[in-house]
Each structure stands twice: as C-alpha cells, then as structure tokens.
Structure 1
Amino acid sequence: MRLSPKNKIFCALDFTELKQTCQFVEKIKENIGGIKIGLEFFFKNGIKGVESLKKYNLPIFLDLKLNDIPNTVSRAAKNLLELEPEYLTAHLNGGIEMIRSLVDIKMKTKIIGVSLLTSLNDNDLKKFGLEINSKSYVEKLSKIGYEGGVDGMVSSSMEVKDLKNKMPKDFIFVTPGIQLSNTNNDQKRTSSPLEAIRNGSSILIIGRAITKSNNPNQTIKKIISQLEENGN
C-alpha cells in the first residue's frame, strides 16, 4: 500500500473525554492521514463516541484488539463494523478460526492482526514460558494472520523489515511505538518515523509525540518534511 507521507500518519487519540478529543482532532485534522481510537476513548464514549468523530471524514483505525472465542468475537464485531471503520484490530494469538470469523463479516473494513505488543520483548516471552525470541514469535503469528485472511498486521519496524518480502505487496504493516527522541515510556520495541518507513511500514501510529507536543501541527509537519526529504 503506497500512501503519501501525510496519509501514513495516524494520530493515536489516547484521551478519554469526547470534548477534548474533538477539539484536538479539529486542530490537527488537515495534517494527518487518520485517527486511531483505542480502549481509553472507547470504554468511556463507546460507539456513540466513535460516531461523533466520523464528522471529520478521517479514516478511523479502531484499535480494540479483539480476542475471544470465534463466536463471541464475530458477534461483537458486527456492532463495530456498522461504524465502517477503515481498520479494526484483533489479536492474532486468538487463533486462525477467530481471525476467519472476523474476515468473513468484515465488509469494507480492513482487519489488522496484532502480533506482539511493543511493550513486550524477548524477556517477557521467556516469562510466559515461551522459548522463542520476539522476531520468531511475530513471524509465526504473521503466518496465522495471512492464512486467516487479515489485510495487514501491527508490528514494530524491526519485524516489518524481515516480514515485508514474505507478504503480498498490498499487505498493510502498521507500526506503533513511533518516537521522535529517546523518551522513557512503556514501549520497548520502538523506532523513529523515518526508520519505520524505511523498514517497510505502511502506516505510523503516533500518539504522545503529537498529543503531548506544545505545537502538535508543527511536530506533524516536521515528520512529514523528514519523510518527504528522504523520498518516502
């Protein structure tokens, strides 16, 4: 999937209050490619909150990371799909049948599989009792996702680099954990915007670097400029 630098940037709206969220989107809407809605916002505002954000005519990345038995996931997803989000996420470790239960009813929405959260690394996998590194684990999950029919997957740019040539050209790689500096936070497998794009990421999920910025639009324009200067 080939997008312009601007359209590769999805801002993670990690707010809870609807008014605050709408005010922020109004401020940055001309400079981004889409918005990511996560659990914080959804648990407070629900489906009506998502409907309120549709007025901005931006692609919506509904990041709820569905994970349950196939029947439960498909029935829950039917309500979400009525919102017609551009993307909807589900954990790949829910298994191929769960993934297929979503793909079968997705309509126009693209199903994006979540591999390994960027807050986890090799040490965490060992604590889970898994004798496998994060690279191999993500690769195994990517196979489950591809066989299940997902349109793309969420993965750190480190894994994207290895997976890019193993997937169809139109496969979507979504990369969170995007940072503009070495900021201490809860994410371990991070990268800069340029590094992620060079490694093959299709969409960049950028949250705190934008939402905590004193000048969000200036920050976004700086990212776009950097990508454009490097031919991305």
Structure 2
Amino acid sequence: MNSKERIIVALDVSSKEEMFKLLKKINQPGCYVKVGMELYYQEGADVVRELKNSGYSVFLDLKLHDIPHTVNKAMRGLAKVGADMVNVHAAGGSEMMRAAIEGLEEGATGKRPICLAVTQLTSTDQKMLESELMIGHPMMDVITQYGKLAYHSGMDGVVCSAWEARQMKEHTAPSFLTVTPGIRLAADSAGDQKRVATPARASELGSDYIVVGRSITAADHPAEAFQHVADEWGKSQWKVNN
C-alpha cells in the first residue's frame, strides 16, 4: 500500500451532489474517503455503495456506542453495506466491542471491514475530560487504557490523535492500527480540534492512516492541497521506513 492509499479524505458534506462535486475537485480517483454522520444520515447506505462502485475505499465513521446487542445487530447490517472500515466508541466497553466484531463477521459476505475503537475525540482536552466528563486521570493514561481495552477486545485498531499513536502501539502491538484525525497543514487553522498534527509529524509519531478534512476540502485548490499532504506524508513515511 502506497502512502496516498493511507490518506483518508473526510467528506464532511450533506449530499451526494456535494460529495461528487468535491471528489471531482480533489481529482484522486479511488482514494480512501471518510463518510461520517452528516452525509450518512442524509443519504443512507446508498452513498457508501455508490462510492464503492466508483472505486473508492470507504471509512464509515458512525462511532457506534450502545448496548452490546444493539451494536451487534447494527454492525451485522453495516457489514452488508460494503464499507472497508467502521468504528465504535471504546467507552462502550469490552462486551460491546466484542459484539461489534461478532456482528461484522456474521454480516460480512467476504472479508469483514476493519473495526476501530475511538479512544477520545480530538476535540477533547484535559480540561473537558476532568470538568465535563468527570474523568480525573491524565488524557494519555485514559487513551492508553481505552486502547488496551480495544486491543484485548479484538479490535483491529483505534482512532486516536497522532500524538498518542506511538504509545498506543507500545502498549498493544506494532500491527494494531492507529487512524489519526486532526491532521492540518502547518499554515491551516486547528478549528475545533485540540490535538492536531501535520502529516509529517503524524508519520513520525507512528500513524498508520491519517484523516484529513478541511486542509484539503476547504482549500482553494483541493487537488493541489491533496498533493501537498501526500508529498509531506510520503516523504516522512520514507524516512520512517528507511
């Protein structure tokens, strides 16, 4: 898999029309894309099927978090949609995560989708963790514990910030995937994200995949922005692997 195939473009739009217009501007046929709640709840499963039929790889980012039985049934259905990657919230616990994997395996007609666990959203910081979520431990400790729980529950990897990727692998396994959102080019605003990193830094920190949204999709020239991200990510990948 080359470096471009590990860049996941976040399609944070509300309709298929907007989506295909954006993909045309990005001009990367068959790249990896992320379909989140905004698009999926408007367009449903057909949007994933259309992307797959057009040759794209799809990360269906719905972050399931419910009782184990409900997540199992939901994943059984999502396995039939054709996404390559799906996710749950690690905060749902080990029984829920195991139920998610079982549902995917029961519903998949071929190879089941990669299943990831979200540790903490990249919009969460230490202040929110303590004052709003009432979790009185350091952020890194919480994320590490969630990651270990996900690993021992059979997840394929986690969604975490780039800053936690290396430690996550040290506490699980080198093959345990780290998919890292909150990626920004150096000149871009962090927006509502707190724990952000550049593509180069994410590679150095051990990210397996990076999820890039506004740095590409909100750029004046999305195709050029994608290439900029790919160049930075690819050069760093080469340094890390050589």
Give TM-score, length-normalised by structure 1: 0.94
Cα offset for 1:93?
0.3
CA distance, structure 2, for counterparts of residue 29 and residue 167 of structure 1: 36
8 Å Cα contact 2:151-2:176 kept in structure 1: no
Say whether 1:161 aligns with 2:159. Answer: no
CA contact (8 A) 2:29 2:56 kept: no
Q: Which position in structure 2 is the counterpart of 1:103? A: 101
Q: Which amino acid aligns with 1:77?
A: M
Match of 1:117 in 2: 121
Distance 1:33 1:173 in 2: 18
Question: Is 2:14 the partner of 1:16?
Answer: yes
Corresponding position of 1:147: 152
Partner of 1:77: 75
Residue of structure 2 aligned with 1:136, choices 141, 165, 177: 141
SS in 2 for 1:164: helix
Q: In the alignment, is the contact (CA less than 8 A) between 1:6 and 1:32 conserved in 2?
A: no
Aligned to 1:47: 45
Instruction: Encode CA deviations 1:104-142: one digit per residue, 9 max, x unaligned.
Output: 132321111000000001111111221111100001101
Q: Structure 1 segments of 4 or more deviating over 3 A? A: none
Q: Which residue of 2 aligns with 1:202?
A: 208
Aligned-CA RMSD value: 1.5
3-state SS of 1:218 partner: helix
User: Residue 207 of structure 2 aligns to which amino acid in structure 1?
Assistant: S
Q: Secondary structure at the match of 1:22?
A: helix
**Within 2, Cα distance between the matches of 1:67 and 1:199?**
28
Deviation at 1:34, TM superposition (A): 0.2
Give the CA deviation at 1:182.
Answer: 4.7
Using the TM superposition, give the Cα deviation of residue 31 of structure 1 relative to its aligned residue in structure 2, in angstroms: 6.4
Please identify, of 220-229 and 156-165, the stretch whose mean Cα deviation from structure 2 is larger. 220-229
Contact 1:31 1:217 in 2 (8 A): no
Is there any run of 5+ residues in structure 1 with no aligned partner, and where? none
Query: Structure 1 residues 99, 166: closer, same or farther in 2, change over 3 A?
Result: same
Assess if the C-alpha contact under 8 Å between 1:6 and 1:31 holds in 2. no
Can you give the 5+ residue segments of structure 2 that lack an aligned partner in the other structure? 106-111
C-alpha distance in 1, partners of 2:137/2:153? 22
* Inter-CA distance 134–208: structure 2 relative to 1 (3 Å threshold): same
> Is residue 92 from structure 1 mapped to residue 90 from structure 2 by the alignment?
yes
Structure 1, 124-133 or 66-75: larger mean CA deviation: 124-133
Which of these residues, 189, 195, 199, is aligned with residue 193 of structure 1?
199
The share of aligned pairs that are identical, in percent, is 29
Per the TM alignment, residue 80 of structure 1 is displaced from its structure 2 partner at its CA by: 1.1
- Provide Cα deviations, 1:32-75, integer angstroms capped at 9, x if missing partner: 74000000001101112222222221210000000000001111
Give the partner amino acid of 2:117. G
Equivalent AA in structure 1 for residue 103 of structure 2? I
Task: Give the alignment's TM-score, normalised by structure 2.
Answer: 0.90
Distance 1:64 1:58 in 2: 18
